[in-house]
Structure 1
């Protein structure tokens, strides 16, 4: 059987192609999944921009200068050479933007399996796990899960990390790219803390300001042109989803020693000029969610961590359902168009993109 794959030039994310390949005979110990649907968000653009730095290109290797950007989605087993994994079973997990994926299933549990292929062995375990979905699952619930759950849990983990470090003695947290799904996930977690919390400030574009204010989880919303309106006397932590070098430079020069910590999360403004070096205030430190997961697993155990995350996730999802519109599309041209819009930052913030090939 032939399988179509969407690939991008690792050094030029605007250069793309579709490749059709014969999937071939399924190897022993392998499972073949037909990828039914997947979500596309600004987070996937970060996967591409940081592909070499963090290793995202290594999950689904391609030949030469080409790469396959990972996405979160749902796949159905169409062939299995592994005892205990049956055809028609469906799994949520990390996939390429392709029609099929072969995985080497191992480390089984009641809830699924891990791809134990050699090329993924050194990669973070949470990205290698495939979670079994119940038979007769609700399509809308699955769409919300692939679109938002991982992004929300990233925001939840950042909130947990900041709280675990007493917010680095900050009285305010400023979130750059505040309209992004990870951005307002974090803002939701911060704003609903039961104990004392920092002031939550969102930075966004002028186009998205009204939308961001309407989310109801920011104490104040400023545009990227209003960095000097931030109170420089207040100890502040920056959480940057954007990677906007010019804005970062202005904030560092404005806050100086009041900038207590900078948490770098995303790179949605990937084409902008890099910020200046040797700026006043805290130096950016990249946030890697699996590190906080491993810490809490060691301290709390898997059951307690899962329970806390599930409770928080359901609360957040209830808040999002009324206004976040799911937009489902199918085919190569739809994927190409959605990818370019996301790459250029033209996707409406109240739209969730679900795709299939």
Structure 2
């Protein structure tokens, strides 16, 4: 038996390869999972772009080869798998799991902290990594699982959780004062056609104290407007349509250095600059030498930990579950779905999808579901 992996160069994300690795026998306590299908979005490009800074490459490490000083990496993805082999007493062959996987045909996990709901991967190299990424859910009892809509769950569930937490974080901090003085604070969202951005907009749109403005490329304006969650949609070169003294918060999903500099330079009442992702991988830049507040990287698990402390696990899950089901109803509107799923099977199709998403050339309404075998 072999495992097929889709690897990318950490220093050149467009360079990829598919490798076949022989399967080692399982050790006591381990399971082997066949990864059936997984989502691939700009969120995964963010994982790769920030792989070293945020430790995303550490989840599924690839051993360096010979004199190759820059290792290949496995981009983490969210999706579904089935237990194919087990040496763990608490996990049965045939169990269906939702969680965080490598871009591969199979993965080996070492389940610990088993419960009826799921388990955590106890592999030593993941011990210091955030538990939200190490948690695997048993689909049979997962209240958010629906076998009929697995692709939408894989595509949107992790992005929605991040979006929901961004909205909560901003509200928890009273929008950093941008909504004071009798004026509605403006939330500026870059890469407005990305799934995490419009999921965030869908949450913010419920808050009357703020206005949500989407920033996007000309080709995605109509799509963003069709969603109905943005008060206004502007192209990146239309910032002058907003007054310079607009009290605002910048929520940056693009990571575009030139755009960030333009926003910081234009808006004298910029209250906060929140860095989320890096969909514009060829234009990433740091936050030095900028006017106004220094950009702060948002780390969703930190806000999740705070709210687990505030609300308890049951309260957190209840609030998130209600918001998720409301969002799914929006996304799945009859006749006007926000996401149209496309399936890609096999190494060549996976490579093509990777290139499309990496280059930002895809249709904003399309969601890519991939499988290696």
The TM-score normalised by the length of structure 2 is: 0.93
Q: RMSD over aligned Cα, in angstroms?
A: 1.4
Supply the distance in 2 between the matched residues of 1:140 and 1:185 (Cα, whole angstroms): 21
For residue 328 of structure 2, what is the aligned residue in structure 1? 317
For residue 310 of structure 2, what is the aligned residue in structure 1? 299
Residue 277 of structure 1 deviates from its aligned partner by: 2.9
Query: Secondary structure of 1:47's match?
Result: helix
Query: Secondary structure of 2:109's match?
Result: strand
Supply the distance in 2 between the matched residues of 1:79 and 1:260 (Cα, whole angstroms): 53
Aligned with 1:246 (options 244, 251, 258) = 258
Supply the distance in 2 between the matched residues of 1:95 and 1:291 (Cα, whole angstroms): 21
Aligned with 1:345 (options 338, 360, 370) = 360
Residue 164 of structure 1 deviates from its aligned partner by: 0.3
For residue 74 of structure 2, what is the aligned residue in structure 1? 68
Supply the distance in 2 between the matched residues of 1:35 and 1:164 (Cα, whole angstroms): 37
Supply the distance in 2 between the matched residues of 1:226 and 1:56 (Cα, whole angstroms): 35
Aligned with 1:265 (options 272, 276, 285) = 276
Q: For the structure 1 residues 84 and 254, does the alpha-carbon distance in structure 2 shift closer, same or farther, using more than 3 Å as the test?
A: same
Query: Secondary structure of 2:254's match?
Result: coil
Confirm or deny that 1:116 pairs with 2:122: yes
Q: Which runs of 5+ in 1 are unaligned?
A: none
Aligned with 2:218 (options 206, 210, 223) = 206
Aligned with 1:217 (options 229, 232, 243) = 229
Supply the distance in 1 between the matched residues of 2:72 and 2:148 (Cα, whole angstroms): 33
Number of residue pairs aligned between Structure 1 and Structure 2: 354
Residue 222 of structure 1 deviates from its aligned partner by: 0.5
Q: For the structure 1 residues 273 and 89, does the alpha-carbon distance in structure 2 shift closer, same or farther, using more than 3 Å as the test?
A: closer
For residue 95 of structure 2, what is the aligned residue in structure 1? 89
1:314-347: CA deviations, max 9, x gaps?
1111111132111112111110000000000012
Q: Which runs of 5+ in 2 are unaligned?
A: 65-70, 179-184
Q: For the structure 1 residues 116 and 261, does the alpha-carbon distance in structure 2 shift closer, same or farther, using more than 3 Å as the test?
A: same
Which has the higher mean CA deviation after the structures are superposed, 166-175 or 137-146?
A: 137-146
Question: Contact 2:49–2:278 (CA<8 Å) still a contact in 1?
Answer: yes
Residue 31 of structure 1 deviates from its aligned partner by: 0.7
For residue 137 of structure 2, what is the aligned residue in structure 1? 131
Supply the distance in 2 between the matched residues of 1:333 and 1:31 (Cα, whole angstroms): 28
Query: What does 1:48-59 align with in structure 2 at a 5 Å threshold?
Result: 48-59=48-59
For residue 176 of structure 1, what is the aligned residue in structure 2? 190
Supply the distance in 1 between the matched residues of 2:319 and 2:169 (Cα, whole angstroms): 14
Residue 282 of structure 1 deviates from its aligned partner by: 1.0
Query: Secondary structure of 1:109's match?
Result: coil
For residue 151 of structure 1, what is the aligned residue in structure 2? 159
The TM-score normalised by the length of structure 1 is: 0.97
Question: Contact 1:112–1:132 (CA<8 Å) still a contact in 2?
Answer: yes
Residue 234 of structure 1 deviates from its aligned partner by: 2.0
For residue 79 of structure 1, what is the aligned residue in structure 2? 85
Residue 279 of structure 1 deviates from its aligned partner by: 1.7
Q: For the structure 1 residues 133 and 275, does the alpha-carbon distance in structure 2 shift closer, same or farther, using more than 3 Å as the test?
A: closer
1:137-191: CA deviations, max 9, x gaps?
7543221111101101111000000000000011111000011000000000000
For residue 277 of structure 1, what is the aligned residue in structure 2? 288
